Structure 1
Amino acid sequence: MRIVHAVRSDGFAGVERHVARLARAQAHHGDDVTVVGGAADDMRRELDGVRHLEARTVPEVARRLAGHGRGADVVHVHMTAAEIAAGLVPWARHRPAVVATRHFAAPRGSGRTGPFVARLARHAVQAQIAVSRYVADHVDGPTTVVYPGVDVAPSTAEQERVVLVLQRLEPEKATDVALRAVASSGMLHHGWRLQVAGTGSQAAELAALADRLGLRAELLGHRADVDELLGSAGILLAPCPVEGLGLSVLEAMAHALPVVAADAGGHTELLAGLDDRALFPPGDAATAGDRLRALAADDAGRAAYGRAAAARQRARYTLAAQVAGTADVYEELL
């Protein structure tokens, strides 16, 4: 099958990583795959030989699709801007099936132009995939849930006494809750370290908050070695209350890394029932700190939680399962 993925982006965060991993897995499965959009160096590293074309704007995505999508069986778009781009292409005789993955738990369009944007985005889309049941329940239109997968080789590194926060540093991610939770836990006074990997508009503000809280936070910025960070950390802290799924949480599970996460959105689907200390009420830094402190003091419990998380990931959230579920959506249209 010939597949073209498109995302209007010059960055590399959760959505772009999702696109790159799915595209690479489909190519390994035998499909002819092209990816449009995303930060060139990061995408090409993750794609490992799969064809990549840069596209930073909606018109650029539309031009790429007009040139490379006409002979495709499926054009698979990610986020509203790429949906709009697909709708701008005059497909002529050979019109590919257009599938959209919904990554966020919200209807299309916002603000005064929202209804127009939503209509324009929906125009080209023939089927939708949601990354979680939570997302499917909050988007517009019929949607099939296909969970993302990860296939991560078990790390040979020894887990260190590190609390890792791995996310964009934007307001909706609630990184400030993570800093307050670590401060509340007191664990940095008992040999633990805090690492924050990611970039965003709140970087300076969060550095100032860490200083006010007396935290020796290692603000790592953008990192390409995400697997290495996850493989050597002791706990992942995921405070975002609106994650459609939580790719970093899923990756942590693959590394047998215990997670303390906001009990909301996709986090709940991934972690519920694994450990009593896995989830905390969104925004509640004090309770999150309690969860962290309890896990930090329980070496055997952390290891058991990590093994249970890894077993769940390998049973439910593999790239093979994602490729198969995505192919089912394609084939129903074709």
Structure 2
Amino acid sequence: MKVRHLMLSDSFAGVERHVAVLANEQARRGHSVEVWGGDPQRMRTHLHGAVRQIETAGVAVTAARSLAASSSDLVHAHMTAAEAVALTARLGRGVPLVSTRHFAARRGSGHKGRLIRAVLDPQVDAQIAISRYVAGAIGGPSTVIYPGVEAVDTRDVARRPVVLVVQRLQPAKRTAVALRAFAVGAPRGWSLEVVGRGPELADLQRLAVDLKIAERTSFLGFRNDVAQIMRSSAVLIAPCEIEGLGLSVLEAMSQGLPVLASRAGAHPETVGRAVDGQLFPPGESAAAGMMLASLCEDREWRSQYGEELRTVQRSIFTPAAQAEGTQSVYQEVLR
């Protein structure tokens, strides 16, 4: 089968990472796979040699013309702008269109949203939602297929007394909740590392000063070595309340890294699957801090809990399961 994954982006964030994992597994299974879009250099690093990479540079007109002039069995779009471009193949060549919905919101936004939905909704042959949380928010029927991440060898891991946050620094992510939880619950000798960049950085730096944790807090910005940082950290805090799934959480689980997450968004579908899943009430930094203190104080429990999360990841959130579920959707559309 010839599959085109289409993203109208020039970045490499959660959606692009999702596509890279899926495309690699599909190619491993013998499909002809192309990935259109994403940051060229970083996509090249993450895609296996069997996956063909097409640079779009986010130019909708160029991408649409190229897509209309070429053939494939199916176009798999990611995000609304990519769906709109994919219509050129859908309408011009009758190529089926599958869309993965990554965010818990209906198509389009503002006053244009209703028009966008009126145009796109009837043209999408099948929707995939990355979680039940997303499926309940997007409108219309969908199939829930969880993203997968690769299993990680966790032998000989030496963990530092570090609490980690990995996410974009913007208000919706609620990073301030993590800082306040750390201030409440982290014992002396522990530090906080925040990986990510965004418009909230200056405010968060000031908050660290106000909370008197500035000397123990490092804002690391964008990093290419997140896996290595996770491997050496002791706890991950995931405070976002609207996370469609949370690839960083899945990656932490694959590393056996204990996760403390908000009981909101899709976190109950990931962390919440563990018997001892550590979920705090959304936005309640005091409760999160108390739970963090318990984790920090008990190394044996952290190890057991991390192993439980790793088992959950390896049983449910795998590239193989993601590819198999996606293939079933493709086959249904192509009948």
Alignment-derived partner of residue 135 in structure 1: 134
Q: 1:7 touches 1:61 (CA, 8 Å); kept in 2?
A: no
SS of aligned partner of 2:110:
coil
Q: 2:89 touches 2:95 (CA, 8 Å); kept in 1?
A: no
Alignment-derived partner of residue 51 in structure 1: 52
Q: 1:106 touches 1:135 (CA, 8 Å); kept in 2?
A: yes
Any gaps of 5 or more consecutive residues in structure 1?
Answer: none
Selected match of 2:202 from 186, 204, 209: 204
CA distances 1:175-213 after superposition (whole Å, capped 9, x unpaired): 1111111111143x2x21111111112122222222222
Deviation (angstroms), 1:64:
3.8
Aligned residue identity for 2:307: R
CA distances 1:59-86 after superposition (whole Å, capped 9, x unpaired): 243234224xx32111100111111111
Q: 2:273 touches 2:312 (CA, 8 Å); kept in 1?
A: no
Is the alpha carbon distance of 1:200 and 1:59 closer, same or farther for their aligned partners in structure 2, counting shifts above 3 Å? Answer: farther
2: CA distance, partners of 1:100 / 1:289: 39
Q: 1:6 touches 1:61 (CA, 8 Å); kept in 2?
A: no
Is the alpha carbon distance of 1:64 and 1:232 closer, same or farther for their aligned partners in structure 2, counting shifts above 3 Å? Answer: farther
* Total equivalences in the alignment: 329
2: CA distance, partners of 1:276 / 1:211: 33
Q: State the TM-score, normalized to the length of structure 1.
A: 0.94
Deviation (angstroms), 1:119:
2.2
Selected match of 1:214 from 208, 212, 215: 212
Alignment-derived partner of residue 62 in structure 1: 64
Q: 1:104 touches 1:135 (CA, 8 Å); kept in 2?
A: yes
Is the alpha carbon distance of 1:186 and 1:160 closer, same or farther for their aligned partners in structure 2, counting shifts above 3 Å? Answer: closer
Q: 2:276 touches 2:305 (CA, 8 Å); kept in 1?
A: no
Deviation (angstroms), 1:123:
4.5
2: CA distance, partners of 1:60 / 1:309: 43
Q: 1:87 touches 1:120 (CA, 8 Å); kept in 2?
A: no
Deviation (angstroms), 1:90:
6.9
1: CA distance, partners of 2:37 / 2:107: 20
Aligned residue identity for 2:59: T
1: CA distance, partners of 2:280 / 2:167: 18
Selected match of 1:195 from 173, 193, 196: 193
Q: 1:241 touches 1:263 (CA, 8 Å); kept in 2?
A: yes
SS of aligned partner of 1:164:
strand
* Mapping of residues 10-159 of structure 1, within 5 Å: 10-49=10-49, 50-55=51-56, 56-67=58-69, 70-89=70-89, 91-92=91-92, 94-155=93-154, 156-159=156-159
SS of aligned partner of 2:266:
helix
Residue 251 (structure 1) aligned with residue 255 (structure 2): no
Q: 1:66 touches 1:91 (CA, 8 Å); kept in 2?
A: no
Residue 262 (structure 1) aligned with residue 262 (structure 2): yes
Deviation (angstroms), 1:298:
0.7
Any gaps of 5 or more consecutive residues in structure 2?
Answer: none
2: CA distance, partners of 1:257 / 1:57: 39
Deviation (angstroms), 1:311:
0.8
Aligned residue identity for 2:168: R
1: CA distance, partners of 2:191 / 2:275: 23
* Mapping of residues 273-288 of structure 1, within 5 Å: 274=274, 276=276, 278-288=278-288
* Mapping of residues 212-251 of structure 1, within 5 Å: 212-215=210-213, 216-251=216-251
2: CA distance, partners of 1:283 / 1:299: 26
CA distances 1:38-79 after superposition (whole Å, capped 9, x unpaired): 111111111132222222133243234224xx3211110011
1: CA distance, partners of 2:254 / 2:63: 33
Deviation (angstroms), 1:152:
2.6
Is the alpha carbon distance of 1:301 and 1:97 closer, same or farther for their aligned partners in structure 2, counting shifts above 3 Å? Answer: same
Aligned residue identity for 2:252: A
Root-mean-square deviation over aligned CA pairs: 1.6
SS of aligned partner of 1:260:
strand
